[in-house]
Structures are given as C-alpha cells and as structure tokens.
Amino acid sequence: MTIQTSLAPAAPVRPKTAPKMVGDKVNVFYGAKQALFDVDLEIGENRVTSLIGPSGCGKSTFLRCLNRMNDTIESCRVSGSILLDGEDVYDRSIDVVELRARVGMVFQKPNPFPKSIYENVAYGPKIHGMARSKADLDEIVTSSIRRAGLWEEVKDRLQEPGTGLSGGQQQRLCIARAIATKPEVLLMDEPCSALDPIATAIIEELIDELRENFTIVIVTHSMQQAARVSQKTAFFHLGKLIEEGATSDIFTNPKNKQTQDYITGRIG
C-alpha cells in the first residue's frame, strides 16, 4: 500500500499566539428580538477570518460588535465581552472614536465622501491628529493609496472627486481610507458584493497582501470568496455560531451537518 498524505492545509501552521480579538458569550438584542446567542469566537492576528451564513444569521451583527458600530442602533443591546488585545471594547473607559480608528471598517457599497480622492483618505488621519505637517499627511495619503493598490490609477488625479471613480476603484479608495488611520483590525462587510469579477479579484488580492499588516474579518455571501481569501471560517445560523475552523477543513470536510447543508446549497 502506498502511503497517502492528506491534503496540505491552505495556510501554513502558525505558532499559537494570543488572538487579536476575542468574542466571549456575545449576546445581541435588537429590542426584544435576540440576534446573537452566546457567540464565542477568536480572531487570530494577521489572519483573515471569514464569517459566513444565510441572511439574518447574525454574522454582520457580530462584525459590527467588534468596533461597536451597533452603538449607532438605538434599540441594540450587547452582553458578553469583546476583547481587543485583552481589553474589553465595551468597557466604559474605551473611547469609541479611538476604537474605530483601531478597528476600521469597509462596507458593502463603496461609500466615498463627496470630496476629492486625496481628501477621502486624508480625512481620518486629520481628525485623529496623525499628521504634523502637510508633508506628513501627503505621505500617509500616498502610502495608503499605494497599499490599497490604487496608486497607479489615481496618482495624476488626486484632486478629482472620489465619486468619479469606478465601483472597484471606489471600494479600494474606501480601503485606503480605512487603512489611513493605521487600524490594527479591518472589518469588511461584503466588500465585493457590488463589484464585477475583475474588481473582486483585485480586492481579494489586496486582502491577501493586507493580511501581513492587519487582522482582517470579512463577512461574505460568496462561499468561494471565503474559501479563497480566509484562513479561518466561522459559520453562523439563526444567531448561533454553528462551526468554526480552518477554512480548508470547513469547505472540504465540515463537521456539522448544518454547515454541510449550507455550503453545499441545501439550506438558504
């Protein structure tokens, strides 16, 4: 009998380090309706974690807990704890504005400010007082746009409105804007759902590059996208975390039947 080695995992095995973020018994209520039930989830540093599940399963709700975006919804109540480097982000001492600078977000629909490309990216560093001089600010804007893979396309028209770019370029501009404040964690809520396949491929390539410097959490409806970009996948259903694990395992050999049914298209 020839020896058969099992499939090599997609991501190299990393030494076990403390997770960047930890959700511990997270419950979320919108008024009387409970949206999340006792979710425990660790977000590994410099890794891409994808959250998948049918609409209304709570994956976006969980994502929005990570930088307290849910605070903006009046009826929303969160219990349990969300730790960022061991510190509870829901602690009274936490400055929410500062938290959101550390945990940036990119949304489903590209939403550039109705300002110039330059101003879009410069806005965050300005309000957080990250630049001492115009030269400093220029440097931050340039490097952010470069890292977002947009530089070659916009370097000659930084003063033109950001809204004049194509959808894919706008989304990369939003990513540049999000990373300009030097966040540690980048949350992405279906960042490619409004983009064509080429623009999607560019963003996915970018996610892979950004992983070196950022911890990324992505919500996606595309199973293939989760399989392509992430190292860890968490499956949510009806507000519960059903299964989490290495992406390569989840998509070839999920342990849970509900996960199996969802990723193979047997429950919606």
Partner 1 sequence: MPTSHNEHIVTSYEDELTALAASISEMGGQVEAAVADATRALLKLDHAAAKQIIAHDKQIDEMHRTIDDMAVSMIARRQPMARDLRAIITSIHVAGDLERVGDMAKTISRRTLQIEGLSLTPKFYNGVKHMSDLILRQLKAALDAYATRDATAAVEVCNADDEIDALYTSLFRELLTYMMEDPRNITQCTHLLFCSKSLERVGDHATNIAEAAFYLDTGRQMSESAGDLHRIQIKE
Residues that bind partner 1 (CB under 8 A): 1, 3-7, 223-224, 227, 251-254, 257-261, 263-268
Q: How many other CB atoms sit within 10 Å of the CB of residue 28?
A: 23
Closest CB 31 distance from partner 1, rounded Å: 26
Closest CB 206 distance from partner 1, rounded Å: 22
Residue closer to partner 1 by CB (options 6, 72) is 6
- Cα–Cα distance for residue pair 187/84, rounded to 1 Å: 13
Nearest Cα residue to 186 out of 57, 33, 43, 4: 43
Whether 160 contacts 191, CB under 8 Å? no
Closest CB 44 distance from partner 1, rounded Å: 23
Residue closer to partner 1 by CB (options 108, 260) is 260
Residue closer to partner 1 by CB (options 157, 257) is 257
Residue closer to partner 1 by CB (options 89, 242) is 242
Closest CB 54 distance from partner 1, rounded Å: 11
Mind giving me the DSSP string for 98-143? HHHHHEEEE-SS----SSBHHHHHHHHHHHTT--SSHHHHHHHHHH
Residue closer to partner 1 by CB (options 5, 72) is 5
Residue closer to partner 1 by CB (options 15, 265) is 265
- Cα–Cα distance for residue pair 240/242, rounded to 1 Å: 6
Closest CB 176 distance from partner 1, rounded Å: 31
21-30/33-43 β-pairing:
antiparallel
CA distances from 98 to 15, 119, 130, 174, 182 (A): 30, 20, 12, 19, 11
- State both tokens at 152: 């070659």
Closest CB 194 distance from partner 1, rounded Å: 20
